[in-house]
């Protein structure tokens, strides 16, 4: 058994809400294959940088699961033609690799909570370009 991180992107038009019911079926499928689900996280609805077919946004779900090696190919084959799943990818997971993302340290959180963050910008000091008119109709 190896530990994997699986990321599913659901079609928001095919699932209700944020896809919790469909996610529960995926968790059950992992367990039926002899795996254990260690973490499930909905990463919300996000707009794509490039459309997937005619879809411009999707609902991201992140799973950390322990599965037999042959189960990954079975899962990919099972959801290959499923219209609810726009994308599916598996990564080999190592413990602690995403602790900074899901459990941010105090130092990282303080970067965005400092007093007067962004107050040093003054519009009077902002460089700007003036329009010179480019040409004139005046004759010399």
Q: Residue 70 sits in a domain of what CATH number?
A: 3.30.70.60
Range of the domain at 12: 2-102
Instruction: Confirm whether pTM is higher than 0.85.
Output: no
Is residue 49 a part of any domain in this protein? yes
The answer as to whether 124 is a domain residue is no
Can you give the pLDDT at residue 11?
95
Q: What is the dihedral of CA 17, 22, 28, 30, to 10 degrees?
A: -110
Count of structural domains, the chain: 1
15 in a domain, yes or no?
Answer: yes
Tell me if 131 is assigned to some domain: no
Q: What is the mean pLDDT of residues 69-96?
A: 91
Instruction: Look at residue 73 and tell me if it is in a domain.
Output: yes
pLDDT tens track for 115-128: 555 555 555 555 55
Edge-first strand listing for the sheet containing 2-10: 36-52, 55-67, 2-10, 85-92
**Rounded mean pLDDT of the chain?**
81
In a domain, 26, yes or no: yes
């Amino acid at each position: 058994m190896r530990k994997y991180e699986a990321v599913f992107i659901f079609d928001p038009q095919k699932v209700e809400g944020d896809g919790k019911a469909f996610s529960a079926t995926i968790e059950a499928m992992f367990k039926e294959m002899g795996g254990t689900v260690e973490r499930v996280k909905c990463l919300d609805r996000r707009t794509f940088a490039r459309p997937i077919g005619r879809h411009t946004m999707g609902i991201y779900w992140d799973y950390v699961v322990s599965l037999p090696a042959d189960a990954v190919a079975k899962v990919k084959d099972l959801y290959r033609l499923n219209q609810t799943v726009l994308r599916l990818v598996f990564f080999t997971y190592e413990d602690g690799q995403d602790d900074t993302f899901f459990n941010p340290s105090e130092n990282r959180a303080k970067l965005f909570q400092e007093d007067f963050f962004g107050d040093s910008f003054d519009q009077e000091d902002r460089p700007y370009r003036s329009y010179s008119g480019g040409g004139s109709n005046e004759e010399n």
